[in-house]
Amino acid sequence: MPEKPRVLIHAENARELQNRLTDVSPDLPVHACGSNSELAASVPDFAPDVVYSVRFDSSTPFPTDTLLSDAGPRWISVGGSGCDHLGQWDTSRVTVTNSAGVGAAMMAEFVFGSVLHFTLDIDGLTRDKDSRRWQADRLMIPLRGKTMLIVGLGQTGQAVAARAKAFGMHVLGTRARPEPVGHVDEVFAARELPTLWHLADVVVMCVPLLDATRGLVDAAAFSAMKKTAILVDVSRGNVIVPEAAIHALRTGQIKGAAFDVFHEEPLETESPYWSLPNTIIAPHASAVFEGWGGNSFEMFLENLNCWQRGEPLQRIVDPSRGY
């Protein structure tokens, strides 16, 4: 590997991150770009050994083919956790790492903020306030004793599980390779998911987008869920079949849902999602918080030190598994 790797930074605040890298490693050649088009042009022009990339620009296509070409970098560090925008890559030519876990705690807070929105009937309380109505017989729905099903027990799923136990919930979870996980009462293989939908009061989707998870939550899954179930999706947009979700919410197959991800982003103004009852819509922002970008970049800097010392990189992504 190069003694002084050439580092290309692709982010909305790329210049700021460039200054941060220069502060800690002033001898490294660094180039910053603030758009997908700049990234596509910079790879052949700058010939980076390493690319740190935060996917933020939806106005132009992400230059996957350029990054993964023979002229591309030997290491791609993804600033978030999801790597499905890269598709498949040749692990003998390029290593891909991610920042898994950087937003796990915040995503878990989003999950419970969404769940409590429905169990405390915040919409109803707001309507009562607007109409100056004092409904003294209103009943809250406790989470204690309820069952949460977490689909995907990575770092986000585990963060959700820890908070679920603090609320006194019974926690079920699925993972590709079932083994005991802290704060989870029962762990099942992913293939057992069809037998679990009907058990859950709350379903939380935390899986990466893979061939095996694409369209995972379909019409059959919604039909199997309780009518009182709450669904929260912080996975990837194509894990849930949109037509099935829209039908389920319109017809009252489930109590409510919170979506942070969609099959197309940004969500078009004409999308039927906007008019669905009992639905929370977030702009793929559950993992975004003040300081998120800085935390992710610090994880990259630690990995860059490993790279320069010839030590194994952390958080290497297996393209066949998506994590």
Choice among 243, 265, 302, 311 that is catalytic? 265
Q: What does the mean pLDDT of the chain come to?
A: 95
Choice among 10, 163, 175, 284 that is catalytic? 284
Phi, psi of 303 (to 5 degrees): -70, -35
In tens, the pLDDT along 104-159 reads 999 999 999 999 999 999 999 999 999 999 999 999 999 999 999 999 999 999 99
pLDDT band at 36 (very low <50, low <70, confident <90, very high): very high
Separation of alpha carbons 125 and 24, rounded Å: 51
Choice among 10, 170, 236, 315 that is catalytic? 236
Separation of alpha carbons 78 and 99, rounded Å: 7
Is 85 marked active-site?
Answer: no
Helix ranges (H only) for 74-189 are 104-119, 122-130, 155-166
In tens, the pLDDT along 43-95 reads 999 999 999 999 887 778 999 999 999 999 999 999 988 898 999 999 999 99
Q: Is the pTM here over 0.85, yes or no?
A: yes
Separation of alpha carbons 125 and 134, rounded Å: 9
Handedness of CA 15, 16, 19, 24 (dihedral sign): negative
- pLDDT at 322 (0 to 100): 79
Is 284 marked active-site?
Answer: yes
Is 263 marked active-site?
Answer: no
Q: Which of 199, 237, 194 is nearest to 219 (CA)?
A: 194
